[in-house]
A and B are shown apart, each in its own frame.
Chain A
């Protein structure tokens, strides 16, 4: 039986209507992504090869002078490039046992509650949570308590240690969640098999558990690391202007000294470093565990 011209016409009509609906559904998101993600990124890419106008702002040019000038903010880069990986590593060391306990050891009825207790801080204001540590570490917090027992002149806030503490505090939930997800998916029979074959608990952990949870570890590590590269609040509030991050340099260049081209060059560099971190993390987890990376949400 052949399809008559009328039926063919209505089929084409249907197809058109289907495509139109798809386009309508995707239009708002596309507009949003283009105007507020792609175009802004193109804008700072263009600014980064421009020059600073005498009164501040931007003057059209094509020069790599802004990139050549990056060493002028070497301290900010140095602090960030040291404290971001160290902070992410510290997060990991604290997060792994917690995720391990939640996924493999916690009693069933406690698991969801404990998991919620991990998620809640992640979604509460980083500003307020960092403020809490300003309060605890500041002059009227722990140092005041120490003074009561005779230990005077302890300085905790506005030190690199305080910034590191704030980093671990702020980003711990983001590290715990992906590790938890990868550990929860772990096939427990593998652990039994490993033990049955005479492996010690330690070698089972290293050879099976740790290895199979590596995608989660790398997801957590790279996410925390990338967000730390752009961190501003923690070094500002707990480092007191003494521990400068790239984020501080960007706020200064865009809102105070108004050197937008140089700031754009720094921002582009930041994005490039983030991309390298993501790719490297993905490579490492694929090579070591043979598995694809896990999604966060």
Chain B
């Protein structure tokens, strides 16, 4: 059984290792392993389209993860204060936001937003004082909102789990000692849920930064890094893509390890 487990871990990591290895290859192809070089990283980072896509992805991931961390934490706190029935409705919706495949989230958001903009844009044009009314369109906003849906549900779930295991005695002791609810929250509850909030933020960032399929539908004229990479892959495999893939993989691994560490920090 040990041999089998070792083989599975090799299966999980060898292909990634090969991508990383060949991103440092001086030659064009795997067949010409001619030496160490970082030229493909230089090439990738001097490609203006790629840099633009990378900046977009960083902006979208940061914004949607921040919004998700705030709203998800608020929701988790709010759900502690409602009855079982309301809670069940929220849990079902949050669960659906996580489980429904990205393709369905993508197309349904696309359909709904296009219809909504179709109604709102003439209305805005009517109300706007001059000739240049703003036009609502797909772009940063729609990607942030669609990513935020999954992320917010994720944060609410992670923080909710942590709140469930919170030591109630501490909260009661705090209010017995005449602390105001705000003080109790700041000095007892917040420090205990903070690792979960940070972990949720990091996982939300990772999800948004890596997501292809949802953004593919709702990006409009914008390009994110995964959309750019997908388009390049379809044109053919190049060492340049290996270099981008390596950067993305290393970044996600760091974020996930950080998130795991945050989640385990106060557990034991």
Residues of A within 8 A of B (CB): 18, 21-26, 28-29, 32-33, 35-41, 43-44, 47, 94, 97-98, 100-102, 105, 112, 114, 116-121, 123-129, 131-136, 138, 140-141, 144, 169, 172-173, 223, 226-227, 229-233, 237, 246-247, 250-251, 254-255, 260, 263-264, 267, 270-271, 274, 278, 297
Contacts and interface: CB of A to CB of B under 8 A. Distances in A.
Nearest to B11: A169
B197 interface: no
Contact of B109 (A36, A232, A250): A36
A232 B213 contact: yes
Interface string B234-245: 000100011001
A230 to B, nearest CB: 3
> Chain B contact residues: over half helix, strand or loop, or mixed?
helix
Interface stretch (B35-43, B45-53, B73-81, B186-194): B73-81
A47 B112 CA distance: 10
A271 to B, nearest CB: 6
B8 A28 contact: no
B104 A230 contact: yes
Interface of B: 1-2, 4-5, 8-9, 11-13, 15-16, 18-19, 22, 29-31, 70-72, 74-75, 77-79, 81-82, 90, 93-94, 96-97, 99-105, 107-113, 115, 145-146, 148-149, 152, 154, 156-158, 161, 203, 206-207, 209-210, 212-213, 216-217, 226, 229-230, 233, 237, 241-242, 245, 248-249, 252-253, 255-257, 259-260, 264
A270 B213 contact: no
A135 B77 contact: no
A128 B108 contact: no
A132 B16 contact: yes
B152 A29 contact: yes
Given A33-B97, A123-B256, A132-B18, 19 more contacts: A44-B107, A97-B8, A101-B1, A123-B210, A125-B245, A125-B248, A127-B229, A128-B19, A133-B15, A135-B15, A135-B19, A140-B30, A172-B12, A230-B213, A232-B103, A233-B213, A246-B103, A264-B107, A297-B161
